[in-house]
Amino acid sequence: MKAKLIITAALFVLTAGVTRAQNQTKTTCTTNGNQTTCTSTTGEQPGHEIGRAIGSVIGNRILRHRINKFCKKHPDGWFQPDGEQRIECRDWNASK
């Protein structure tokens, strides 16, 4: 229980800055005589990439847990996540 609380607190701290705006717009203007032309580009902020990475880690941990749990109960079986490659429990358990 204590470990779950620590993990939850760490995720909260890491994702606190991610809740801000996800895009940043940069506008560049050039003037030639009486005419001014401006172009804008929008890019993702670093917080968005951090959020993606954290989400990926969490998703992978959940998947690994599901595979471990299944293969512990069915050592001679196989596990196949939706749309993914089939995992033989014999190979999975041997790789640990």
Tens digit of each residue's pLDDT, the chain (96 residues): 555 555 655 555 555 554 554 567 778 888 888 888 888 877 666 777 788 889 999 999 999 999 999 999 999 999 998 888 999 999 998 987
Structural domain boundaries, residue 88? 26-94
Query: Residue type for 36, please?
Result: T
Residue carrying the six token digits 């959940």: 62
Please state the domain count of the chain. 1
In a domain, 87, yes or no: yes
DSSP 8-state class, residue 35: E
In a domain, 52, yes or no: yes
In a domain, 17, yes or no: no
Residue 71 CA: distances (Å) to CA of 35, 43, 61, 63, 81: 69, 42, 15, 12, 13
What is the three-class DSSP state of 51? helix
